């Protein structure tokens, strides 16, 4: 079992390190947690099952507060992902897209040169876990927000409003590998814990036990919503975006009601945005290497690892890959969804 070492625990006043303190929760919330099924967490000591999804306690606290206080607006844009599916990339693209008249992608002064995308687009659940009524800035007339919460854990009002939701999903094998690397960094830097062996993390993931998991239920809920309400939810895939980024950036622009004009196409605006938001460009910016992330309390570099499709083959045995493929295939049967 992992051994805590006080010396490795970050002193940063990030939301995350605060949320990892036992005493940051009220007695009432702790009692509520005790009433829920729990399993060992990847970062937090426990994950709790709430309405079919496994959540870290501060995610659950945020989800409950969202239900009480979040007022959706018709101009909202919510970017949603299962963790480690390319959230940072999606945030960068959406921000650059929405603000392209204000900030040219080539400009040295573009906000993405000096801000990590997580700092430009807040997570709803983290904002509401920290504050009952967080303030959200407008970006070109819209609140640009993000969430890792599944459809069923967001209030009905979100689905009834005219606000738009862009969902990005990723192959589960690459997602679990990315998740495992990320969690091991956080375990070490925030809790002084040793790394979780990959087979242990993989087994939890295959049982659906990871923050906002099960993966397949998260993805299926958004897939279903995108089929039933295509004007409300745009469903994107990381691998397809890697293959044909122009196609999917144009889709996103049209979906959000700001399609590229002929003049913009001719001037190379699409490729400019893609270059600015590419893994190579973002990961080499100073802000994304050494600056400490306000939410996480660790350096932003932790958010940029390889940015590749297929890295799972460096971590999984064939048997593991078969097991996960089979689970996901079974869960997606009849949905028309393939990852």
Q: Provide the minimum distance between the beta carbon of 6 and ligand PAP in the complex, in angstroms, as a whole number.
A: 26
Selected from 41, 57, 62, 86, the binder of ligand PAP by CB under 6 A is 86
- Residue 325 is a binding residue for ligand PAP (CB under 6 A): no
Task: Pick out residues in 15-44 that bind ligand PAP (CB under 6 A).
Answer: none
Q: Provide the minimum distance between the beta carbon of 299 and ligand PAP in the complex, in angstroms, as a whole number.
A: 13
- Residue 282 is a binding residue for ligand PAP (CB under 6 A): yes
Three-state DSSP class for residue 292? strand
CA 72, 94, 306 angle in degrees (round to 5)? 125
- Residue 178 is a binding residue for ligand PAP (CB under 6 A): yes
Q: Stretches 57-65, 69-77, 223-231, 277-285: which one binds ligand PAP (CB under 6 A)?
A: 277-285
- Residue 279 is a binding residue for ligand PAP (CB under 6 A): yes
- Residue 277 is a binding residue for ligand PAP (CB under 6 A): yes
Pair of tokens at residue 12: 């940063």
Contact status, residue 212 vs residue 53, Cβ threshold 8 Å: yes
Q: Is 181 a catalytic residue?
A: no
Residues 118, 148, 218, 248: which is the catalytic one?
Answer: 148
Q: Closest CB to ligand PAP among 84 and 331? A: 84
- Residue 89 is a binding residue for ligand PAP (CB under 6 A): yes
| Residues near 152 by beta carbon (within 8 Å), at least 6 away in sequence | 51, 52, 53, 221
Selected from 154, 303, 316, 327, the binder of ligand PAP by CB under 6 A is 303
Q: 121-124: long-range contacts (C-beta < 8 A, 24 or more apart)?
A: 121/79, 121/91, 121/94, 121/95, 121/145, 121/146, 122/146, 123/62, 123/147, 123/148, 123/295, 124/62, 124/66, 124/70, 124/78, 124/149
- Residue 305 is a binding residue for ligand PAP (CB under 6 A): yes
Three-state DSSP class for residue 222? helix
- Residue 83 is a binding residue for ligand PAP (CB under 6 A): yes
Selected from 85, 171, 184, 226, the binder of ligand PAP by CB under 6 A is 85
Location of structure tokens 């050494």: 290
Selected from 17, 65, 81, 204, the binder of ligand PAP by CB under 6 A is 81
Q: Provide the minimum distance between the beta carbon of 238 and ligand PAP in the complex, in angstroms, as a whole number.
A: 7
Selected from 84, 100, 110, 187, the binder of ligand PAP by CB under 6 A is 84
Q: Which residues are catalytic?
A: 148
Binding site for ligand PAP (CB under 6 A): 81, 83-89, 174, 178, 181-182, 277-279, 282, 303-307, 311
């Amino acid at each position: 079992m992992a051994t805590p070492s006080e010396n490795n625990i970050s002193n940063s006043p990030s939301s995350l390190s605060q949320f990892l303190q036992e005493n940051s929760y009220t007695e009432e919330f702790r009692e509520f947690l005790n009433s829920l099924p729990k399993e060992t967490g990847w970062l937090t000591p426990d994950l709790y099952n709430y309405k079919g999804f496994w959540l870290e306690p501060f995610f659950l606290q945020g989800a409950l507060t969202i239900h009480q206080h979040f007022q959706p607006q018709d101009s909202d844009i919510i970017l949603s992902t299962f963790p480690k599916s390319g959230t940072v990339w999606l945030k960068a693209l959406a921000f650059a897209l929405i603000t392209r008249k204000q900030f040219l992608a080539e400009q040295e002064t573009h906000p993405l040169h000096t801000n990590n995308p997580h700092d430009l687009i807040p997570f709803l659940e983290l904002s509401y876990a920290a504050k009952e009524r967080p303030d959200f800035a407008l970006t070109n007339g819209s609140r640009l927000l993000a969430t890792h919460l599944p459809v069923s854990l967001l209030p009905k009002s979100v689905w009834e409003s005219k606000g738009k939701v862009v969902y990005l999903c990723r192959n589960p094998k690459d997602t679990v590998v990315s998740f495992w690397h990320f969690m091991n960094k956080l375990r070490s830097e925030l809790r002084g814990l040793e790394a979780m062996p990959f087979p242990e993390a993989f087994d939890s993931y295959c049982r659906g036990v990871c923050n906002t998991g099960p993966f397949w239920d998260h993805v299926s809920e958004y897939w279903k919503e995108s089929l039933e309400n295509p004007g409300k939810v745009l469903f994107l895939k990381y691998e397809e975006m890697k293959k044909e980024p122009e196609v999917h950036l144009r889709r996103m622009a049209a979906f959000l009601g700001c399609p590229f004009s002929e003049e913009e196409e001719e001037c190379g605006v699409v490729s400019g945005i893609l270059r600015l938001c590419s893994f190579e460009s973002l990961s080499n910016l100073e802000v994304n290497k050494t600056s400490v992330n306000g939410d996480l309390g660790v350096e932003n570099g932790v958010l940029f690892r390889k940015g590749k499709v297929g890295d799972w083959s460096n971590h999984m045995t064939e048997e593991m890959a078969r097991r996960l493929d089979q689970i996901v295939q079974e869960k997606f049967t009849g949905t028309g969804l393939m990852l």
